[in-house]
Amino acid sequence: MTLPAEPASRHRAVAGRFAEVARQVGDWDARSPVPEWTAREVVGHLLEWLGGFLSGSAGVELAARSLDDPVSAWEQRAADVQALLDDPTTADRALSNPHTGDLPLAEAIDRFYTTDVLLHTWDLARAAGGSDPLDPDVAEELLAGLTGVEEVLRSSGQYGPAVPAPDDASPGDRLMAFLGRDPLWAPPR
């Protein structure tokens, strides 16, 4: 999937793809490639962290979403974020955070949240027993950018150590290996 450049359009595409993958999950308690997370917890992560980030850094409040129905919860969260990005007043809003500095709100959502959704789509697809190959150009771009901030990533505690990737690994698999995922991971049988 080639992604649009504009944050609202990119979120729409990435969140829509995540929803497609979520609709394919048959077992929400299935393990995911993220250690200690199930498929449900992958969705839960995306539902939870953005609200606190936006509330504390931009004064934006997102409604809490229940994980009783992960697909519905995801669709509601995606709609919440999309409405925020589509709102013309968002262009005048900023996110101010000691770790990120001051950024236009749409850029901050795009850089941190939409990218996280894109990466976790891979995790959710694997938990569902499938695969969701990342666009090679997008994966190369992300890998190049993340390599430059590797020390910050690893020290955040949010990423494990890089794992080896096969010599013939796709750009997406190399990216996921850099982030600490085994690109050959498959759900336990």
The fold for domain 7-132 equals Four Helix Bundle (Hemerythrin (Met), subunit A) (1.20.120)
Rg of the chain on CA atoms, in Å:
16
- Rounded (5°) CA angle 176-28-43: 55
φ/ψ (deg, to 5) at 24: -95, -10
pLDDT tens for 116-156 read: 999 999 999 999 999 878 888 889 999 999 888 888 888 87
Question: What interhelical angle do 70-86 and 7-22 show, nearest 10?
Answer: 170
pLDDT tens for 59-91 read: 999 999 999 999 999 999 999 999 999 999 887
Give the closest residue to 38 by CA, choosing from 28, 46, 25, 23.
28
Indicate the average pLDDT of the chain. Answer: 91
* Domain extents in the chain: 7-132, 133-184
Contacts of 157 (CB under 8 A, 6+ apart): none
Arithmetic mean of pLDDT, 34-58? 93
pLDDT of 118 reads 94
The predicted model scores a pTM of 0.92
Under 8 Å between Cβ of 105 and 114? no
pLDDT of 1 reads 59
Under 8 Å between Cβ of 68 and 95? no
